[in-house]
Structure 1
Amino acid sequence: MTERENPFVWFDFGGVLSPPLAELFSTYETKTGITPAALQAAMQAVGDDLGAHPLAPIELAQITEREWGSRLREHLAAADPDLDLSRARLETFGEQWFDGIVVNSAMASALRGLKAYGHRVGVLSNNVVEWEPYWRAIIEPAGPLDALVDSCLVGARKPDEQIFAIAEKVAGVDASQCILIDDLAQNVDAARRRGWQAIHFRSNGQAASELSRLTGIPAVL
């Protein structure tokens, strides 16, 4: 089988190559004292102010991290005036959010295994311009990527169809030659509507097993 015949495998970052999102929110609470519920409500409020999905403005680089963090601070303070925000570096959110976070070693191993068997791999992520140095450092153990499609760089975000079309062009393959591994059902559903194969990541073992079935290579964890 040639490289062009092998499917191109796209990994999500948050929740697949990183620890689960619930764990990230819990870790942030330990760092700052802000509960996941309070932080998520503030994110929703920022999105509502801008008439968008909670994270769309920053993941599409429509506002800066500093402006977004400042808006978060205002909403958190308004929702709970007694909340101590002194430990939260909201205006430089990414640096604190990712501090101490390590790669999901099982998925990093799966990515390296795919490369060893001649598959091309990439990251297809909704992410933030200012956060790239931090998440890039986290996934470094996974090894080199063949492609990166990042919402903040291409002006489209999952689950919008446009970002999948962009990824196909970047990889130089048809939709049917793409596999997405993502922890969010709406992104998986959108990829499948586009004609991709997709794995809804729920655990390392489950995702590795499905990946092995789709690619024909042994599950590597």
Structure 2
Amino acid sequence: MAIRALISDFGGVLTTPLLGSFLAFQDQTGIPAETLGRAMQRIAERDGEHPLFELERGRLAEAEFLGLLREELEPDLGHEPELHRFSEIYFEALDPNEPMINLMRDLKARGYRMALLTNNVREWEPLWRAMLPVDEIFEVVVDSAFAGIRKPDPEIYELTLERLGGGIGPAECLFVDDVEDNIATARNLGMRAVHFRSNEQAISEIEAALG
């Protein structure tokens, strides 16, 4: 069955790798990424939900998320950490991935239906939208923080298909993401998928899938 629609991730596909943002946060705050990860895991074990995932589902406000982290990190660090610049540092270290953005623009011009499916943060919407011409390229944008569900939950993929409309089914979609779990869900639903690892690899595989 021919591909009619492309569904793309945002961070790590249409931007430089997200790891750079977390390393920048580590460099500027002195808080090791491992320490941050352990703090979030302890919160998850205590509260039953991972705080980052709850942030991306829109169930936690950014200020609440940072407050939880601040309290959890204080015993490890011996002082209350300054986290108020988290989003500023994160986005300062992130750049648009122009080759992939140009490909998406070209696919739109070639007549493919285009959707953006992102796990994101409600308060960050103006920041990430400012990085690329979202509405010029994508007719559908599904943001986990507003949908209340996040990848790899199948429901958010199904919601994206529903919003694309036009009777487009999973087999007519090509999904692009940099996270293996997200790719696995897309394939389980019957979508074709490209696991983004580099521009050269992803662009080649996307063009091959589109025929």
TM-score, length basis structure 1 = 0.86
CA contact (8 A) 1:48 1:54 kept: no
CA-to-aligned-CA distance 1:125-176 (integer Å, 9 cap, x gap):
1111101011111123894321101111112111111111101101112111
Question: What is the deviation of 1:48?
Answer: 2.8
Counterpart of 1:45 (choices 21, 36, 42) is: 42
Structure 1 residues 140, 32: CA separation in 2 closer, same or farther (over 3 Å shift)?
farther
CA contact (8 A) 2:154 2:189 kept: yes
Question: Matched residues in 2 for 1:208 and 1:163: separation?
Answer: 24
Question: Matched residues in 2 for 1:80 and 1:195: separation?
Answer: 46
Counterpart of 2:143 (choices 150, 160, 165) is: 150
One-letter code aligned to 1:135: W
Amino-acid identity (%) = 37
Structure 1 residues 200, 6: CA separation in 2 closer, same or farther (over 3 Å shift)?
closer
**Secondary structure at the counterpart of residue 16 of structure 1:** coil
CA contact (8 A) 2:177 2:196 kept: yes
Question: Matched residues in 1 for 2:138 and 2:98: separation?
Answer: 16
- Of stretches 32-41 and 195-204 in structure 1, the one that deviates more from structure 2 is 32-41
Question: Matched residues in 1 for 2:92 and 2:176: separation?
Answer: 24
Stretches (4+) displaced over 4 A: none
Tell me what 1:75 maps to: 72
Question: What is the deviation of 1:6?
Answer: 4.6
One-letter code aligned to 2:174: I
Within the alignment, does 1:22 sit opposite 2:22 as a pair?
Answer: no
Tell me what 1:129 maps to: 122
For the aligned residues, what is the CA RMSD?
Answer: 2.0
One-letter code aligned to 1:121: M
Question: Matched residues in 1 for 2:134 and 2:87: separation?
Answer: 20
Within the alignment, does 1:200 sit opposite 2:186 as a pair?
Answer: no
Question: Matched residues in 2 for 1:95 and 1:14: separation?
Answer: 15
Tell me what 2:173 maps to: 178
- Of stretches 172-181 and 39-48 in structure 1, the one that deviates more from structure 2 is 39-48
Counterpart of 1:60 (choices 57, 76, 80) is: 57
Structure 1 residues 142, 103: CA separation in 2 closer, same or farther (over 3 Å shift)?
farther
Within the alignment, does 1:33 sit opposite 2:30 as a pair?
Answer: yes
Question: What is the deviation of 1:178?
Answer: 1.5
Within the alignment, does 1:107 sit opposite 2:100 as a pair?
Answer: yes
Structure 2 unaligned residues grouped into runs of 5+ = none
Question: Matched residues in 2 for 1:108 and 1:34: separation?
Answer: 32
**Secondary structure at the counterpart of residue 44 of structure 2:** helix
Counterpart of 1:11 (choices 2, 8, 22) is: 8
Structure 1 unaligned residues grouped into runs of 5+ = 217-221
**Secondary structure at the counterpart of residue 137 of structure 2:** coil
Question: What is the deviation of 1:214?
Answer: 1.1
Q: Count matched residues.
A: 208
CA contact (8 A) 2:51 2:65 kept: no
Within the alignment, does 1:209 sit opposite 2:209 as a pair?
Answer: no
CA-to-aligned-CA distance 1:5-63 (integer Å, 9 cap, x gap):
65211111121112112222112223322222222222323333331234221111111
- Of stretches 110-119 and 180-189 in structure 1, the one that deviates more from structure 2 is 110-119
